[in-house]
Structure formats: C-alpha cells, structure tokens
Amino acid sequence: MIYSGSEDSEITEQNEGEQVGDAEILTVNCGETLDISRVSEFYTELEMIINEKKPIEFDVSEIERIDISGLQLLLSFYQKINSSGLDFHWKNPSENLLRSASLVGLEGALGFSE
C-alpha cells in the first residue's frame, strides 16, 4: 500500500512476509536524491509514518546525492524513531550516503558504524 510519494520516494507497507511479530513493516524508499529541495515534503511524509506506530525500514540503497539538510533529516528521524521505541533499520545504505555521513561525522550518530 502506498501511503504517499513524490517523484523520488515512496512509503509502502510490506505485505509479503516482511513482518516483525504481528506488525507489518513500513518501508520508506528515499530515492536517488535527498537534498534541500525535498526535505520539507519528505519531512511531512516521515511524520505520517511515525504516527502509524509500526516497524520502519529506510531503504537508502539508491541514494546518489545527499546534502547536509538530507543528512539532518535522516538523523532527526532516526533519533525520533529510536526514542519512541519503534523497531527500525536501514536497508542497504549506499556508498554515497555512507561517505557523506562519514565526511560530516554522522556515521555513528546514524548507526552506520555499529
């Protein structure tokens, strides 16, 4: 089920075997670009999925370009999701995302160095 989307992202509910207990996993596909031009719209979408109170997976495998505002958005929601006690994991972080997070010292804060 698609909750919302933009040109480059979508939020779907997994129905084919991807579950944590009885809860279905919400997958957020971050697309190829996460920069200042998308942060406001993406923020609204992420707020919606946190309100669902279901396990969340961020598919960041396609990210080719991310700027500091995109990294800040991911960090903000990563911290918010973790503090809310929801199950969360990153799905296949792209090399570009890992490199960008490392360059600004956020790989640990985002949980990539675990």
How far is 75 from 86, CA to CA, in rounded Å?
15
How far is 78 from 81, CA to CA, in rounded Å?
5
Q: Decide if 50 is inside a domain.
A: yes
Q: Decide if 27 is inside a domain.
A: yes
How far is 112 from 50, CA to CA, in rounded Å?
21
pLDDT above 70: residue 15: no
Number of domains in the chain: 1
Q: Decide if 14 is inside a domain.
A: yes
pLDDT above 70: residue 1: no
Tens of pLDDT, residue by residue over 51-101, are 888 899 999 999 999 999 999 999 999 999 989 898 999 999 999 999 999
- Read off the pTM: 0.79
Distances (CA, A) of 97 to 42, 60, 61, 93: 17, 8, 8, 6
Q: Decide if 114 is inside a domain.
A: no
Q: Decide if 41 is inside a domain.
A: yes
Range of the domain at 9: 2-103
Q: Decide if 52 is inside a domain.
A: yes
